[in-house]
Amino acid sequence: MTLFPGRDSDVTTAVAALLAKCRLSIPRTWILTALDYAWHDERPVVVLRHQPAGDPRPGGAHASVVVDRADGTLLGWTRLDGPRPGPLPGTEEAHAAAEAFWHHVDPLHAEGLTVQWVAQHDETIATTSGRAGAVSGMRVNARHINGLYTWAVLAGDLSVLTYERDVQWDERAARRRTQMWLHDRWRAAVDGTAPAPGAPYAPARR
């Protein structure tokens, strides 16, 4: 059984409801630019990508979502639309905000997490002027008792820039195993429009 057996419009409605429940939002003026049925390791997922209506380009501002098609679990989220105002949160503030978010999204899963480290994390997007713009946050990295990894990246206003969970790591190869649907450089390699990035990126596979 799948939670998403119907039309694409049914999928977008279901995902919108899930995001609202998780207190995550996509700007109302943005449009859906991609809807893919893919994999998160052995789990079937649906991947949605929204971008500004006037500038829907690879590498640009986007909000992307990864949802398990079998049980509706939110596995990935990112909203990168430029720098946020104000200083980054401190380590303790980011830690507390991440744990509060995890417990709100999935209390049972959150109980199995142990935070390993907190550090600044930077992403780059292409702005409308064609220049690279930095999006910075504080990344709170955790490991679950099942051995998989979860993290959240918090902006200065403590909004969630990025959230990923149930990610496998290949210790021997020093790289991620789980697909990287939130990352444009990796997606371009999967689509065959750019070279495959090396470690720590995951192998370019669907």
Closest CA to 102 of 62, 66, 137, 153: 153
Give the pLDDT of residue 206: 81
Q: Can you list the alpha helix ranges (DSSP code H) found in the chain?
A: 8-21, 91-105, 107-111, 184-191
165-175 pLDDT, tens digit each: 999 999 999 99
Q: Which residues contact 59 (CB under 8 A, 6 or more apart)?
A: 125, 126, 184, 185
| Average pLDDT of the chain, as a whole number | 91
pLDDT of residue 137 exceeding 50: yes
Whole-model pTM? 0.92
Question: In this structure, what token pair is assigned to residue 185?
Answer: 């450089």
pLDDT of residue 6 exceeding 80: no
Give the pLDDT of residue 152: 98
pLDDT of residue 8 exceeding 90: no
Q: What are the domain boundaries of the chain?
A: 8-190
